[in-house]
A and B are shown apart, each in its own frame.
Chain A
């Protein structure tokens, strides 16, 4: 089963389940990039509150997804990581998660909005001077 991605305004939201397989993470990457490409969204918030394990594979796919979104002109934020997961990732090595982070879903949305604004605004708007 694919992880659903919701759209709130111009921000994509997705919440990862606790028992996420490698295939589901890959599918999520493909789906998110397709939605960014469609031009309906500027950013992506991935909520991982439920995830009690983030191993090196998942960390890499998430970081790569963020980079891909960035190359496509968007912003991706990882939100709601558990303290134990953060500790484990830091012990595993430097920069395991190479992407923006936020405290929770709400903070993630705010961060996407802020980053998009600081970058020069929405994709579908002509800047008003």
Chain B
């Protein structure tokens, strides 16, 4: 194993500039969606990768710190690609194209048809294939991290609680409500009720594309929790589709005040406030 690897290392060492140039020349074809700014950065990173790869082959050892260093560099490049919006295909092609470039080089330097060449190419292919796998894992990981971060940001953004009148807050819900989000919405609504000293919350679900029995269950829980605080929740904007679904599923919404439009909900809120304010307090005290 040592000899062919060392051989590859020597050839790479003598042709580092050539390999990098050939790689960069292909960049436009392999990664057409890359922006000029990210190409600039990519060139530097690829240069480092070629250096580390050369150093790894020169050590002649299949495993070890040198290989780890190469893998780390490939993972970093892949993560950068994922952040810059390159497709997985582009990223994989970018790494795999090293096989063709360095392969041509080996052909030229080793002499065709020799055993030596076959073994060198095998050593090269094994490493590049490994890098491709590392690249793929790193790409997926980075994308997932981005999705998680965006999910959190969306959760924060999409659920404001607006004090729209003395004792009235409005919370418009937009987007899919899953269990985690429903929990979050419930927490925020209750905290907003307490913070704003609101007696009534209007929960507008016009922007929620799907209201099924699970969402309805969360809504009823929210209404009940608000009741424990001494506040009331009015749900507005239930679409005809949602109404049909809820009735067909036989969901019990009797504890909930619902209105078709936000406007009707607001009117109901004022009516409730007026009703609660009335009362012969002074005669009792």
How far apart are the CA atoms of A122 and B190 in the complex, in Å?
34
Tell me if B180 is interfacial: C-beta within 8 Å of chain A. no
Residues of B within 8 A of A103 (CB): 197, 199, 229-231
Q: How far is the CA of A78 from the CA of B229 in the complex (A)?
A: 9
1/0 per position for A49-82, CB-CB distance to B under 8 A?
0000000000000000000000000000011111
- Known A83-B193, A86-B225: A113·B187 in contact at CB below 8 Å: no
Q: Write 26 A-B pairs (CB below 8 A) sorted by A numbering.
A: A9-B285, A42-B284, A81-B230, A83-B190, A83-B193, A83-B225, A84-B190, A86-B225, A87-B186, A89-B225, A90-B221, A90-B228, A97-B228, A101-B227, A101-B228, A103-B197, A103-B230, A107-B230, A109-B285, A113-B280, A114-B276, A114-B278, A114-B279, A117-B280, A117-B283, A122-B284
Contact with B along A1-20 (1 / 0, CB 8 A): 00000001111000000000
Q: Find out whether the CB atom of A110 lies under 8 angstroms from the CB atom of B279.
A: yes
Question: Is residue A104 contacting chain B, with contact meaning CB distance below 8 A?
Answer: yes
Q: Does B61 contact A (CB under 8 A)?
A: no
Query: Given the complex, which residues of A lie within 8 Å of B193, measured CB to CB?
Result: 83
Q: Which of B191, B221, B225 has the most CB of A within 10 A?
A: B225
* Interface presence of A22 (CB below 8 A): no
Binary contact track B221-238/A, C-beta < 8 Å → 1, others 0:
100111111110000000
Looking at chain B's contact residues, the main secondary structure is helix
Q: Is the CB of B230 within 8 A of A9?
A: no
Render B63-105 as a binary contact track against A, CB cut-off 8 A, 1 for contact: 0000000000000000000000000000000000000000000
Q: Which residues of B contact A (CB under 8 A)?
A: 186-187, 190-191, 193-194, 197, 199, 221, 224-231, 276, 278-281, 283-285
CA distance A10 to B227 in the complex (A): 25
Contact with B284, one of A80, A81, A85, A116 (Cβ below 8 angstroms): A116
Q: Is the CB of A82 within 8 A of B194?
A: yes
Decide: B284 and A113 in contact? CB cutoff 8 A: yes
Q: Which residues of B contact A94 (CB under 8 A)?
A: 224
Say if the beta carbon of A102 comes within 8 Å of chain B.
yes
Ranked 9 nearest A-B pairs via Cβ: A83-B190, A103-B230, A9-B285, A86-B228, A114-B279, A102-B230, A90-B225, A101-B230, A86-B225
User: Which A residues are in CB contact (< 8 Å) with B280?
Assistant: 113, 117
Interface residues on A, range: 35 or more
Whole-angstrom distance between the Cβ of A45 and the nearest chain B Cβ: 11
Residues of A within 8 A of B197 (CB): 103-104
Contact, CB under 8 Å: B228 / A89: yes
Tell me, rounded to whole Å, the shortest Cβ–Cβ distance linking B284 to chain A. 4
Contacts of A122 in B (CB 8 A): 284
Known A90-B221, A117-B280; judge A81-B228 contact (CB<8 A): yes
Could you tell me if A83 and B187 are in contact, using CB atoms closer than 8 angstroms? Answer: yes
Query: Looking across the interface, which residue of chain B has its beta carbon closest to that of A91?
Result: B221
Q: What chain B residues lie within 8 Å of A113 (beta carbons)?
A: 279-281, 284-285
Question: In the bound complex, do residue A83 and residue B279 qualify as a contact, i.e. CB atoms below 8 Å apart?
Answer: no
Question: A87 to B187, Cβ gap below 8 A?
Answer: yes
Give a binary string over A31-54; 1 marks a CB under 8 Å from any B CB, 0 the rest.
000000000001000000000000
CB A50 to nearest CB in B, in angstroms, measures 14
Q: Is the CB of B284 within 8 A of A86?
A: no
Residues of chain A with a CB closer than 8 A to B190's CB:
83-84, 86-87
CA distance A87 to B285 in the complex (A): 33
Tell me if B221 and A10 are in contact (CB < 8 A): no
Given contacts A11-B285, A87-B225, A122-B284, 14 further A-B contacts (CB under 8 A): A8-B285, A81-B228, A83-B194, A86-B225, A87-B186, A90-B221, A90-B225, A90-B228, A91-B221, A94-B224, A102-B230, A104-B197, A112-B284, A113-B281
